[in-house]
Structure 1
């Protein structure tokens, strides 16, 4: 099978398409024939060497939508099931950007029935990151939340999920994204570079760090969407970062919200797997609204 990997660090040209043996599922695992999977900033970071692993073959891709192709012992899935899954980790030789991928059965959820596989392939990583970040904030209905990077993938999901919980959301993004951010459920909008009102909490999807921390009231909460990117706590503000984890049950809840029309999936464009380097280059340029998706 074909897979996108890096063997040396660098720019988009470091992405290689290689032929490797298809993986076999073990105990409580399933193999998925990949139909689609989004390219995310974490893939660009891995390609550039942020996570280390020099001299190794590292697989790219965390998001997968496709069909169960083979089932290991004690895995409660059937061949032919349409599924989505998060393929966690940044150090393995194979990722989700491949023709087949093996994942633990409890990382898998039924794919949303109301969208195609390209859209479904944008859900796992960013949807779970947003949901798990909101859990860390521990907000109640009526509390106020600022989401930075609200027009992006994680930020957009966070706005929708928080608004659904009855949280009063202010979205921060480029001035031209106000209509989009409000359509996702934000009650208020603040353009980049404009200081918003004080809020109970910030979900920092734009990685602003300390400047965004200043917008949290004393004793509030701050969560970064990237591990290690949270600032030190001040004024009694609790600061954390979300370390996204695979969770099939939670992913199933998100898929159900998609089918209810309560969670929108945005695709900015598609690329065949063979052109993965082009997708990396386009994402690196910035300004992408929605996800770029690879289709094997």
Structure 2
């Protein structure tokens, strides 16, 4: 997936647009955004600055803090694309009973960066229909500690790294 080390980990991002490339009109410097970068390739998100394609990011709604926005993309897109895209259940409020009726079962779900799908998720968050649970935030310099915490399997939400 990432090749031989060394490489930079990370795919989920949230932050501020510093500059844009030629022809980009959707975003301007100063815009607050979130996104999923280059998944499953090298997203290089464990960094202070990164390059994102305009179709991998969306505007961050005021309803999401920066840490919540940083914790949403990969987990949120995995759930959204599995339920709304692959299973075509339509309703993000799908209950386990309704899933069983529909025969919804997954062993593996492939996720792709998608600005339209992220926009649907951020609209749900803005309307109060989606909550991102951040277990804790850590400075980017403590990335190794974040991985240790994840390996212990005692977190109850996302661990978000902050540059």
* Length-normalised TM-score, structure 2: 0.89
SS of residue paired to 1:101? coil
Whether contact under 8 Å (1:62, 1:95) holds in the other structure is: yes
Q: Which runs of 5+ in 1 are unaligned?
A: 1-50, 142-160, 171-186, 188-197, 202-219, 225-240
Q: Tell me how far 1:81 sits from its aligned partner.
A: 0.4
129, 134, 139: which one pairs with 2:89?
139
More strand by share: 1
Total equivalences in the alignment: 161
Match of 1:62 in 2: 11
Whether contact under 8 Å (1:58, 1:90) holds in the other structure is: no
Distance 1:276 1:85, change over 3 A: same
Match of 2:74 in 1: 125
Residue deviations 1:74-124 (CA, integer Å, cap 9, x gap): 1121000000010123553x6111001111101110112122101111111
Matches of 1:272 and 1:221 in 2, distance apart? 38
Match of 1:80 in 2: 30
Match of 2:3 in 1: 53
Q: Tell me how far 1:52 sits from its aligned partner.
A: 6.1
Question: 4+ residue runs of structure 1 moved beyond 6 angstroms?
Answer: none
Matches of 2:35 and 2:18 in 1, distance apart? 14
Whether contact under 8 Å (2:39, 2:113) holds in the other structure is: no
Whether contact under 8 Å (2:35, 2:73) holds in the other structure is: yes
Are residue 168 (structure 1) and residue 95 (structure 2) matched? Answer: yes
**Higher RCO, 1 or 2 (CA under 8 Å, sep at least 6)?**
2
* Length-normalised TM-score, structure 1: 0.51
89, 101, 106: which one pairs with 2:50?
101
What root-mean-square deviation, in Å, do the aligned CA atoms of Structure 1 and Structure 2 show?
2.1
